[in-house]
Every structure is written in structure tokens, then in C-alpha cells.
């Protein structure tokens, strides 16, 4: 209220109002009329309690702003809590992923060792089979050589016997063989 009164006094003593010609407090002086209209307008605003309404509106606006700030603080705290929760979950998931990777590495190493053992066993089986095939081939080769030796020996014996034997010796051998077969059959 004092500020308004001070404003009115300053308006009355303002230098442009004093610069007008003629008496200032006359209705023919436009500056005086404008001053009176302004004072009446300000008085009407005070009578209608516009400053009080403006104060209430400003207080309401300040209360709304304070409420919005409080809500913003609450939302910020909630967001920080949620962020902390997600960070904890991310750490937990990272730890779980690390455990899974470590377990997978262990399983891969175990599988590799098992595969090595299986390969060693397979190589040993193949070596055994190869040795058996070699032994079988050796036995077959020895048998073939013996059979061939027998064939060669029989052929050589036949040649030798054929060269050394006479027809009479051959007939005597045939007669002896027939008699031997007859004796065994009866």
C-alpha cells in the first residue's frame, strides 16, 4: 500500500507534468485529467481488491509450482531407485553370464579331453586292426609260399622221378599201390 502511495506522489511531482503550461490543477490541463483518471483507475482496482486477487493467484501459482517441484523430486528419487535396481540387476546378470561362460569353457575343455581319449582309443583300435591284418597277410603269404613250395617240390620230384624211373619200376609201383588199396578195402 505504501508503494502505491509513493507511486502516486511521484506521479504528481513528475517533471513532464510540471512542464505543461497553465495551472496544473485545472480540468483543462490534460496531464491533470490523465493523472485523475489514473488515480481513479488505481483506486477502483484497490476497491475491487485486484491486488488481493493477484496475490491469491500468485500464491496459488507458487503452490502449484511447489507441488510440481515436489512431484519432480519424488519422480527423480523413484528414477534413481529404479536406476540402482537396474544396475544391480545388470551386475547380477553379468555375474551369471560370467559363470555360464566359465562353465561352458570347462565343459568344452572336458569335451576336448574326452574327444582326445576317444581319438587315442580309435587309433589304438585301428593300429590293432592293422596289426591283425598284417599278421593275417603274413600268414597268408607264408601259406602261399609253402603251397607254392609244395607245388614246386612236387613238380621237381615228378621230374626227378620221371627221369630216374623206368617203365618196369613204374609198373611195379602201380601194382604195389593197387595191392595196398585192396588190402585196406577188404
Task: Please classify residue 61 by burial: count the beta carbons closer than 10 Å to its beta carbon, then call 0-12 exposed, 13-18 middle and 19+ buried.
Answer: exposed
Q: Alpha-carbon distance 35 to 43, whole Å? A: 12
* Weakest-pLDDT range from 37-46, 105-114, 128-137, 171-180: 171-180
| pTM greater than the 0.85 cutoff | no
Taking only the tens place, the pLDDT of each residue in 14-33 is 555 455 566 777 878 889 89
* Residue boundaries of the structural domains of the chain: 1-48, 139-185
Length of the chain: 186
Q: Alpha-carbon distance 106 to 113, whole Å? A: 11
- The confidence score (pLDDT) of residue 174 equals 83
Q: List the Cα angle 38/41/46 in 5-degree steps.
A: 125
**Angle (deg, nearest 10), helices 30-47 and 2-12:** 170
pLDDT band at 12; cut points 50, 70, 90: low
Q: Alpha-carbon distance 19 to 109, whole Å? A: 105
- The confidence score (pLDDT) of residue 9 equals 57
Question: Helix or strand or coil: residue 23?
Answer: coil
**Backbone phi, psi, residue 43, to 5°:** -65, -40
List CB contacts of 17: < 8 A, sequence separation 6 or more: 11, 24, 31, 32, 35
Distances in Å between the alpha carbon of 72 and those of 67, 75, 77, 78, 180?
8, 5, 9, 10, 131
Q: Alpha-carbon distance 128 to 132, whole Å? A: 6
- The confidence score (pLDDT) of residue 180 equals 86
Residue entry with cell 613204374: 170
Taking only the tens place, the pLDDT of each residue in 43-55 is 999 999 999 999 9
pLDDT band at 7; cut points 50, 70, 90: low
Judge whether 9 and 40 are in contact, CB under 8 Å.
Answer: no
Amino acid at each position: 500500500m505504501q508503494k502505491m502511495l509513493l507511486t502516486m506522489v511521484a506521479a504528481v511531482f513528475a517533471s513532464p507534468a510540471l512542464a505543461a503550461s497553465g495551472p496544473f490543477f485545472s480540468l483543462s490541463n490534460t496531464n491533470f485529467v490523465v493523472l485523475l483518471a489514473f488515480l481513479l483507475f488505481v483506486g477502483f482496482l484497490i476497491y475491487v481488491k485486484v491486488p488481493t486477487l493477484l496475490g491469491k493467484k500468485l500464491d496459488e501459482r507458487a503452490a502449484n509450482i511447489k507441488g510440481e517441484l515436489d512431484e519432480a523430486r519424488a519422480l527423480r528419487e523413484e528414477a534413481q531407485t529404479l536406476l540402482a535396481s537396474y544396475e544391480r540387476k545388470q551386475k547380477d546378470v553379468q555375474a551369471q553370464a560370467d559363470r555360464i561362460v566359465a562353465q561352458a569353457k570347462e565343459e568344452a575343455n572336458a569335451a576336448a579331453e574326452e574327444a582326445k581319449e576317444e581319438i587315442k582309443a580309435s587309433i589304438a583300435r585301428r593300429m590293432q586292426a592293422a596289426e591283425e591284418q598284417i599278421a593275417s597277410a603274413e600268414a597268408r603269404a607264408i601259406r602261399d609260399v609253402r603251397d607254392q613250395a609244395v607245388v614246386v617240390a612236387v613238380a621237381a620230384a615228378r621230374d626227378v622221378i620221371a627221369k630216374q624211373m623206368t617203365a618196369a619200376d613204374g609198373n611195379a609201383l602201380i601194382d604195389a599201390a593197387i595191392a595196398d588199396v585192396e588190402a585196406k578195402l577188404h
